[in-house]
Chains A and B, each alone.
Chain A
Amino acid sequence: MSASAGLTSLAYQLPDNRISLQTLEREGVLTSDAAFLRDIGFENCYRYDGTAFDEVRLESARSALSGAAIDGTAVRWLFRYSGLDDDTTAGGFAAGVPVATGSAVPRPESNAETEVLERFRYPVARMQEQLGLTAAAAVSLGQQGCGGLLSALHMARRLATDGEAVLCVAGDALPVHSGREVIYNVMTDAAASVVIEVGARRNRIVHFHQQSMPYYWDTPLHTQELLASYFPLAQRVIEKTLDGAGLVADDIRWVVPHNVNLRSWRILSELIGIPEARVWTDNIARVGHTVSCDHIINLCDMESQGALEKGDRLLLFTFGFGANWSCMILEH
């Protein structure tokens, strides 16, 4: 592990289809009134209407690699994260993964054995092949909800070595006709990618802390308890992360949020003693809440808008079903 590992390149990809709250309400995919959701900060979501969302993930990965200006062979690890369990369909992981083309050998006739073999057509391996990461070990991560990408970054930090990078690719798309609201948050589809390298000159990972609460694993059953636990554990995890980094709330220039509703951020900012003005909430209205990409989307946009200066300490916080509460501090 290197203490100086950081996020050298970040990129994200949103689907083309941007949908207003009114439209979502008309479609009957919201639980709350659109007016209420607007009141707590939301305006839109992005919805992926296609059938091959991995192409969106790939696009973000190519952008991140391009931004890092590294050769694909420098990537030692590829992490592909999905917060939605995509092994629940009859086809296993392979469902929706396009078949390979260009092979010199013909595809065998379908039989009992090939039906089993179909299940071993891994999306992460296809992604590795598509990106040309010939030196990488490709691993799929999942099932940490909105906390998964921060966990992946933390693992990448521990695995990164001099001259070898880690690429984390995350993204999720809800089924087209599914509900678009989860506990007062409007959900958006997105993909995001990050290159982690040792000796990064920006976005150095200072500290990470995560608390998991496995009792809450059955999310629908424990929704009310999760709601009640959200703030106590958020406060505790943020305080532990600050302590672990040897920092106090005043040292933090920006809180980079997961894009949950504004009202919950107002409460949490009061609890952690960081003024609401230092929580970067611009994207709650513009983008909505993604399963795993909020922090990367926000960091990219903060940078492009000139909100970040070298040396700024950034506090990234998220909660994921499962359940886990995670916090990471970066030094820009």
Chain B
Amino acid sequence: MARTILITGASGMFGREVVPALLAGGECELILLVHESGCGVPAAQLARDMFGLSPEDARHVTFVQGDVREPGLGLNEADHGRVTTTVTHILHSAAITRFDRPLGDVRATNVDGTRHMVALARECPCFEAFGHVSSAYMAGRRTGVVLEDDLVHDAGFVNTYEQSKYEAELYLRDVGDLPLAVYRLSTVVGNSRTGAVLNFTAPHHAMRMMHLGLASMVPGSADYPVDMIPGDVVAEAVAELLLHRFRSGDVFHLAAGPERSYTLEQVIESVFDTFGHLDPEWQRRRYPRPVLASSDAFTMFLDAIEAADNPFFVSVLRTVRHFADQLNYPKVFDMTRLLDRMPEYADRMPNIDDYYPKVIRYCVETDWGRHVA
């Protein structure tokens, strides 16, 4: 039976990788929910520009204009009718992924948006599977090993994004009438083959600060495991899980695991080494590596900058402030359930050494997305 998949968040870092992965993963039609800005452009052109799709693949992609924050996604009547009568699957990845936004704004998209997607799924008579893209960092300030079965905790959160992803999962836990699975992603940093970064997020901004010689300190310990994943690999895994290995009630961590990750100290070393190899002039400046600081020292540093009202540093650190604190809460995302369902995931996940330098190179060569060809 032909599958029709409604995808939200297709323009995001993960979404742009998962669209081609779904098309490659089996016969299916894709309906992409896009904001107003995407409309007016011919679908084929949009599909080619956003996802690099061939004309053949682009024929299987259509767009509808809407907004997950609105009930019924704000779809017009015709689109609503088309979606509800054809959609068999939903892959919901739309989210505000910035860490510095007010909780109310983030909830409106990340929690209420999820409610609206569930409501829409209930209207689809042929519905088969709801894949919810969550974040492994819904574990917030928890430390140690986090199991895929784990959900409820009282450890608190580093930022509103984490809290909203947690609240969305809490909501989904009580949805008993839909076939539903949750895919908790670790930090997506780029494409494993090309190093391309489709959406620059806080870790990339932190890297840029190091390139500018403005990284003074980073909270956390040298041996903190920094779990980062390549977008293409994880997108292929999610496509496979949704299309071919779906079971309602599944919750999976899609992470790298400590054995394929750098420690915090190694991340900094890799960034500085790669910058130096790419540009001898940069190397000659001998910018110091940031200090690995205690939470107290880092907080005092940020407070001092804010109190001094140094507009340059305040803007530089605004985003970093809301994610760096996570480095004070070392944790490992257990993947036992995922590896039971998809044993080959372990082999597909490259070692961080194999691709992270490509990501760094991409960031430098495009000046963090300012000069993308």
Band of interface residues on B? 20 to 34
Let me know if A213 and B296 touch, CB within 8 A.
no
Q: Encode contact with B along A99-123: 1 for CB under 8 Å, 0 otherwise.
A: 0000000000000000000000000
List 18 A-B residue pairs with CB atoms under 8 Å apart, sorted by A's residue number: A40-B307, A215-B284, A225-B213, A225-B214, A225-B287, A227-B216, A228-B213, A228-B215, A229-B288, A232-B217, A232-B289, A235-B291, A236-B288, A264-B304, A267-B300, A267-B301, A270-B293, A271-B294
Within 8 A of A (CB), among B302-330: 304, 307-308, 310, 312-313
- Leading 4 A-B pairs by shortest Cβ distance: A232-B288, A270-B297, A225-B213, A228-B216
Q: Say yes or no: is B371 at the interface (Cβ < 8 Å to chain A).
A: no
Q: Given A227-B216, A229-B288, A271–B313 Cβ distance below 8 Å?
A: no
Q: Say yes or no: is B285 at the interface (Cβ < 8 Å to chain A).
A: yes
Q: Say yes or no: is B370 at the interface (Cβ < 8 Å to chain A).
A: no
Q: How many A-B residue pairs have CB under 8 A?
A: 63
Interface majority SS (helix, strand, loop, mixed), chain A: helix
Q: Hey, which chain B residues are within 8 Å of A36, CB to CB?
A: 307-308
Let me know if A224 and B216 touch, CB within 8 A.
no
Q: Hey, which chain A residues are within 8 Å of B216, CB to CB?
A: 227-232
Q: Say yes or no: is B290 at the interface (Cβ < 8 Å to chain A).
A: yes
Q: Hey, which chain A residues are within 8 Å of B290, CB to CB?
A: 232
**Whose C-beta in chain B lies nearest to the C-beta of A33?**
B309
Q: How far is the CA of A215 from the CA of B281 in the complex (A)?
A: 11
Q: Say yes or no: is A97 at the interface (Cβ < 8 Å to chain B).
A: no
**Whose C-beta in chain A lies nearest to the C-beta of B303?**
A263
Let me know if B217 and A231 touch, CB within 8 A.
yes
Let me know if A213 and B300 touch, CB within 8 A.
no
**Whose C-beta in chain A lies nearest to the C-beta of B295?**
A270
Let me know if A263 and B300 touch, CB within 8 A.
yes
Q: Say yes or no: is B244 at the interface (Cβ < 8 Å to chain A).
A: no
Q: Say yes or no: is A184 at the interface (Cβ < 8 Å to chain B).
A: yes
Q: Encode contact with B along A183-211: 1 for CB under 8 Å, 0 otherwise.
A: 01000000000000000000000000000
Let me know if B300 and A270 touch, CB within 8 A.
yes
Q: Say yes or no: is A158 at the interface (Cβ < 8 Å to chain B).
A: no
Let me know if A263 and B307 touch, CB within 8 A.
yes
Q: Give the distance to chain A from B294, nearest Cβ to Cβ, in Å.
A: 6
Q: How far is the CA of A270 from the CA of B293 in the complex (A)?
A: 8
Q: Hey, which chain B residues are within 8 Å of A39, CB to CB?
A: 307
Q: Give the distance to chain B from A162, nearest Cβ to Cβ, in Å.
A: 39
Q: Hey, which chain A residues are within 8 Å of B313, CB to CB?
A: 224, 227-228
Q: How far is the CA of A40 from the CA of B308 in the complex (A)?
A: 10
14 A-B pairs besides A36-B307, A267-B297, A270-B296 with CB distance below 8 A are A215-B285, A224-B214, A224-B312, A225-B214, A227-B216, A227-B310, A228-B215, A229-B287, A232-B290, A236-B288, A263-B307, A267-B300, A267-B301, A270-B293
Q: Hey, which chain A residues are within 8 Å of B294, CB to CB?
A: 270-271
Q: Hey, which chain A residues are within 8 Å of B304, CB to CB?
A: 263-264, 267
Q: Hey, which chain B residues are within 8 Å of A40, CB to CB?
A: 307
Q: Encode contact with B along A46-68: 1 for CB under 8 Å, 0 otherwise.
A: 00000000000000000000000
Q: Say yes or no: is A4 at the interface (Cβ < 8 Å to chain B).
A: no
Q: Say yes or no: is A32 at the interface (Cβ < 8 Å to chain B).
A: yes
Within 8 A of A (CB), among B179-228: 212-217
**Whose C-beta in chain B lies nearest to the C-beta of A230?**
B216
Let me know if A266 and B300 touch, CB within 8 A.
yes
Q: Say yes or no: is A233 at the interface (Cβ < 8 Å to chain B).
A: yes
Q: Which of B287, B294, B312 has the largest count of A CB atoms less than 10 A from its CB?
A: B287
Q: Hey, which chain B residues are within 8 Å of A229, CB to CB?
A: 213, 216, 287-288
Q: Hey, which chain B residues are within 8 Å of A230, CB to CB?
A: 216
Q: Given A36-B307, A215-B284, A228–B214 Cβ distance below 8 Å?
A: yes
Q: How far is the CA of A332 from the CA of B297 in the complex (A)?
A: 30
Within 8 A of B (CB), among A223-268: 224-225, 227-233, 235-236, 263-264, 266-267
Q: Hey, which chain B residues are within 8 Å of A233, CB to CB?
A: 288
Q: Hey, which chain B residues are within 8 Å of A270, CB to CB?
A: 293-294, 296-297, 300
Let me know if A271 and B285 touch, CB within 8 A.
no
